Structure 1
């Protein structure tokens, strides 16, 4: 499913695993649509696993699109996400994700581009 502005939903073989391809073209509309989709997932499932495949993305790209849906999804993810995987992305984002994974009840890991298969295994799903 294509979401606007730099986000594409990747269908998976499990209904409780959500995967997204995110590019440097991400904007506020894309962030809000992705967050709304995750909020709907949190309404549907007791817990979900999430995988982000980042391409041509830097941390500055994320700051441009933070709205009410994004804030709500971030807060809800603390109690609704079991596993959180990020493939690619800048080193600073990897450090931040790994650090948050140690202080919140989410099993969070980052993977280099060449280890995408390991990230899929970590979230327990495959793309379809």
Structure 2
């Protein structure tokens, strides 16, 4: 990574439950971040047929996904509908209404929003804990 390249906004978080996929979105998310997210999710789907997802928004500044290929979004949606059971959104804006529109109406993905102060409740709801990677 070149020092002047923008820092990726999407980072995977380690969890103690392999069926819980967690990410943190920090700052401004771009189309490249969305494509990275879809790739990370594909890796989780390859390992586990069904996963729960936690999205933590930290200092979220919005998203500009205008350059992402619509076919990529359609494929990401289709795969998420096949593999995601529950999704917890923590902090930042409450995306659960717009995420609900991302999935087909007959797909039973359970979505919940948690304030940043209630993050531990979100982890409990998904049956996992974050594993710190800092030394």
* Length-normalised TM-score, structure 2: 0.77
Which residue matches 2:97?
Answer: 95
Check whether the contact 1:100–1:108 (CA below 8 A) recurs between aligned residues.
no
Range that drifts further, 105-114 or 21-30: 21-30
Which residue matches 1:15?
Answer: 18
- Return the index of the structure with the highest Cα Rg: 2
Separation in structure 2 between the aligned mates of residue 32 and residue 10 of structure 1, nearest angstrom = 17
Which residue matches 1:83?
Answer: 86
Check whether the contact 1:83–1:108 (CA below 8 A) recurs between aligned residues.
yes
1:99 is displaced (CA, Å) by 6.9
- Find out whether 1:111 has 2:124 as its counterpart: no
The answer to which structure has the higher strand fraction is 2
1:123 is displaced (CA, Å) by 1.2
Range that drifts further, 70-79 or 30-39: 70-79
Counterpart pick for 1:123 among 117, 123, 126? 126
User: RMSD of aligned C-alpha atoms?
Assistant: 2.4
Check whether the contact 1:88–1:113 (CA below 8 A) recurs between aligned residues.
yes
SS across alignment from 1:61: strand
Which residue matches 2:48?
Answer: 45
1:23 is displaced (CA, Å) by 1.6
* Length-normalised TM-score, structure 1: 0.80
- Structure 2, gaps ≥5 residues long: 1-6
